[in-house]
Amino acid sequence: MSARPESAGAPLLVLGKIVSVHGIRGAVKVYSHTQPLDNVLNYPVWTLRKGQQQQQVSVIAGRVQGRVLVVQLKGLRDRNEALELVDWEICVPQSELPDLSEGEYYWHQLVGLQVVTLEGQLLGRIDHLLETGSNDVMVVRPCAGSIDQRERLLPYLPDLYVKHIDLSEGVMQVDWDAEF
């Protein structure tokens, strides 16, 4: 493990979190934000972050176990060393993410976009997204200039409600009744 990340200064994206230890040989349990769960293992080097602290670690091996991953990191030899990494976020430089097809977006790209109806009414900004069983949901919170102070939950369904996304302008146009 090294204390200085090679990608210092590059914007980091959180892909998961170390939530516990596993066994006595230094393995950690990881909650992954990726889909599928084990996609976080596609990145051989992680930047771990906790507050202002960062350190870089190399992944030796990992496997799915229920709803978490069990991961062995280089340099961790026992349970006590692994305990020191509990609650650290797992990050990778955004530049390492795979390119997406036209019309596909990572959630972090959508957060912060202004949400405007087809009639030009500003509903607010996307605060975060939720994964549900049937479709993802955008949590839209009011912002300066929005039509009211209501928080709205809008389904992220590009073929039905999301009509246009302009990342450079920071705007998403939706077919949504402002009264709903």
Give the pLDDT confidence of 64-82 residue by residue, as tens digits.
999 999 999 999 999 999 9
Mean per-residue pLDDT over the chain, rounded: 91
Domains delineated in the chain:
12-95 (2.40.30.60), 107-174 (2.30.30.240)
Give the pLDDT confidence of 119-164 residue by residue, as tens digits.
999 999 999 998 887 889 999 999 999 999 999 999 999 989 999 9
The residue assigned the tokens 């090294």 is 2
Give the pLDDT confidence of 88-100 residue by residue, as tens digits.
999 999 888 888 8
List beta partners, residue 48. Answer: 55, 90
Check: pTM over 0.85? Answer yes or no: no
Q: Count of CB atoms within 10 A of residue 144's CB?
A: 7
List phi, psi (to 5°) of 81.
-65, -40
